[in-house]
Structure formats: C-alpha cells, structure tokens
Amino acid sequence: MIHGMIYLGSALMVYNIYGFIHFGRQFGNQGSWEKADRILAITVILLVFFLLGYLTIGILGIPDLMTAGILFGGSIFVFIVCKLLEKIARQIQDKEHIQAELIASEASNHAKNTFLASVSHEMRTPMNVIIGLNDICLKDPTLTVETREHLKKVGASARHLLSLINNILVMNSLDMDSAVQQTSTFSLADTVDQVNAIVSVNCEEKGLTYHFSALDDLRKSYIGDELQLKQILFSLLDNAVKYTKAPGNVDFSIACEDSDGEGKDTFRFTVSDTGVGIDKDFLPRVFQVFSQEDASSTTLYGGSGLGLAVTKKIVEQLGGTITASSEKNVGSVFTILLPLLAAEEEVIPLSTDSISLEGKRILVVEDLPENAEIIQDLLELEGVITEHAENGKIALDMFLSSPPKYYDVILMDLRMPVMDGLTATREIRASHHPDAKTVPIAALTANAFESDVRQSLSAGMNVHLAKPADADLLYSTLKTLIWQNTVG
C-alpha cells in the first residue's frame, strides 16, 4: 500500500506537470500574462524534481507510511493549486472579455448614435424645404381645388416621413436610456390649449368633429416634462385623426383621477375616436414595436408600427400607464394615467389671442440660403419683418449693434460655419447689450436628439424647435415667446 501511494502520487504529479504546462500554453498567449512564462517554467522544473524524488524513494528507498502519505498529500495539494489557478485565470479572462465587449458595445452605440444624428440632420434639411414650400403654396388663395388637394397629399406624405424619422430617433434614445426629462414649470391649461389648437385644425381639414372636455380646473401649474407630455398627446390624437374617416368624431378629455394631498395629482387623459378600430386578437400587441394589424391598413392609412410603442415608453418613463380598448369598425379608446407634481408658484396663464406677429422683427440665423428663404417666407406671410444672418458670428455682431428692443425673437440654427448657434447664444447672453438676458432665442435646427435639446437649453435658448417646423407650431411658439417676454 505504501508503494502504491507513492506511485499513485507520482502519476498524479505527472498529471500536475502536464496541467501546469497546458496552463502556461493556454493563458500565456493572452497578452495580459506578460512575464508569467518564467514563473511557470520554474514551477514546472520544481515539480519535475519532486517527481524524480518520488520515483527515487519508491524504487531505491524504504519509505514508511508517513513518508508515503506526505508524498501523496503533496501531489493532491499541487493538483488542487493547479485547478484553483486555472479557475482564477479563467475568471480573469472572462472579466477581460466582458470589459472588451462592453467597450466595443459602447463604441458601437456611439457610432450608431453619431450615424443617426448625421442621417437625421441630412434628411431633415431637405424635408424642411419640402414642408416649408408646401405650407407656403397652400396659403395661395388662387390655387385650384385639384392643385390644393395634390399639395395636401404632398404635405401629408412629407409629414408621415418626418414622423417616421422622429419615432426612430425617440425609440433609439429610449432604448439607450439616454432620453433625459426636461423638467420645467408649465401651465397644464396652456399645454392643452396648444394641443387643441393644432388637432382641431387637422380634424376640420379632414371633416371630423373634434370635442374636448376638461372635468377639472386645469389652470394649476405643474413641474414636469411639458415637451414629452405634448408628444404623447399629439401621438394619440394624430392616430385618432388618421384612422377615422369623415364624418367621424375624435374626443379628448382630461380629469384629475387622484390627489395624494402632498402636491402630486394623477390625471386621466382619454382619447377616443369612431375610427376603424382594432381587432380584439391584435389588441394585446398594439404597443409592441413594429406591430401592425394587417398590411392593408398600413397601405391605406400609413404607419410604421413605432408610434404607439414610442408613446408607451415615454408614458412609462414619466411614471404613468397607458391602456387601450377597441372594437373593430366602431372605434378605439386610449387612456393614460399620469402623475404630475404641482408647482409652488403658479405660471401666469398664457393669452396669445391678442398677440399678433404683424410688424414683429425676427432675426433668422441660418447658413443654408434655401432654408433661410423658406423660414423668411413663412414669417412674412404673417407680416413679420425678417433679417438674415448667415452664421452665428454675423448674428452676434448684428445683435450687439442693434438698439434696445430691436429684435423680438432670434431664430437660431445650431450647425453653422464660423460660429455655431450654441456659441453665438452664449456670447449673446454674456454680452452687455440691454437685451442680452431677455431677448427670446429659439433653436430652429435639424438636430433633434435629446442631447441637442439639452445643449440648446443649457446654452441659454428659450425653446428648441426641430426642423422642419410646422408653420402653425412655429407661429404659436413665436407668439408665446413674445408674450412671455412682454409680461416678464
């Protein structure tokens, strides 16, 4: 038994030597094991000497049970150490692989975001021209009925493409958890009025009846992301208009569902229509990405299957929930429950009814001549006096040399040669001009990512508008800025 233990220990030591050699070959080529070859070589040499000692004692010596036990135990100990080293090395290697994959993933995501931002900017620039010219042409009272209908279809198609671009960007931002809420104090009544103003016009143009009801007083001010609130309301109402044929109804109602007594009110926003409805079998999948009930509805009404998925993600990001009920060929009802935090200071209710853009002076800062021409034409249709600056440096010089209260609003592009819009805005705000801190500056740019919005606001701009700006939205925003500057 004694010689058996020695020979078994010798065999185990041979396996240990092989294990260390294999360990050295396997991990010695990983790049992070520099200078370890020498240590492993010394270890293998020492184990070979131990093996020779085992064999010498077993063949030539007269070992006792204690010696055989020590030799056998030594082999087991070396075996355990070898396996432990292999396990530690594999864990280190796995960690390095995970870190490398993480770095590669971050680089890939950064490249994807850069690509999307670049493509978005390049697509929005011609879209701005198409939608802008279309809006200008539609304001021509001499158009024939047939031409007007053609132009409306062009505008609808262009806006559908723009909606698809917007949804892709928002979905990417939400998937990357890069969408940051823009917290501000806003009047819920003003927000709803702006939504109603645009939706009611869309319903009127399509021959639909639009009805809005508020079951509670909305004049209270709240703290939250007004832009995202508008986006989810516009999305649901736009769907209701899109999928409802004339004559039909679109209804929008708001009610305070609950109040915790500590300043947080939960509102119920309900959008219902008498449109095509949704089949009960498809309804559970209506908020899934790229989900579409059938190809015929896509062809007839348009849609990418992104709108409701984006809306649901934004609602959940704001801490709310959204549900849907529908009956085929009867209509649909979408309900949002959203908590809003009451503001300590009330926002003065917006009243732009008496505000006219007639005679207002607006500086249009835009490097592309065709974009500048479109914007100026849209503004001049409302009686606005426009001036044009080709880049931020020229705009800065024009502002600094202007008398007080000369410009009512500055429309600022972001990407421009010589001096970009962000730098120009910072220079304006830091200047000693009497209007430096008060003149309204609105970003009007093809840069539409959340990060672009944050940069605009942090640079000192009052609002961020993405190109192509809807004419009605542009007018209402300008009126709001002028009104706020007047009462402020």
Mind listing the pLDDT tens digit for each residue in 196-208?
888 888 899 889 9
pLDDT band at 172 (very low <50, low <70, confident <90, very high): low
Banded pLDDT at 476 (limits 50, 70, 90): confident
User: In this predicted model, which residue has the larger pLDDT, 129 or 232?
Assistant: 232
Q: At what angle do helices 65-138 and 36-59 cross, to 10 degrees?
A: 150
State pLDDT tens for residues 66-114: 766 766 777 787 778 777 777 777 777 778 788 888 888 777 767 766 7
Q: Provide the CB-side half-sphere exposure for 12 (13 A, CA).
A: 19
- Give residue 141's pLDDT: 86
Cα first-last separation, the chain: 100
Alpha-carbon distance of 164 to 235, in angstroms, equals 12
Q: What does the buried/exposed string (b/e) look like for 297-329 if buried means 16 or more CB atoms within 10 Å of the residue's CB?
A: eeeeebbbbbbbbbbbbbbeebebebebebeee
CATH number of the structural domain 361-487: 3.40.50.2300
- pLDDT at residue 329 greater than cutoff 90: no
Lowest mean pLDDT among 103-107, 307-311, 375-379: 103-107
Domain limits, the chain: 2-105, 183-342, 361-487
Band of residue 292 on the pLDDT scale cut at 50, 70, 90: low
Q: Residue 227 pLDDT > 60, yes or no?
A: yes
Strand, coil or helix: 43: helix
DSSP 339-397: EEEEPSSPPPPP--TT---TT-EEEEE-SSHHHHHHHHHHHHTTT-EEEEESSHHHHHH
Name the more confident of 303 and 119.
Answer: 119
Q: Does domain 183-342 have CATH number 3.30.565.10?
A: yes
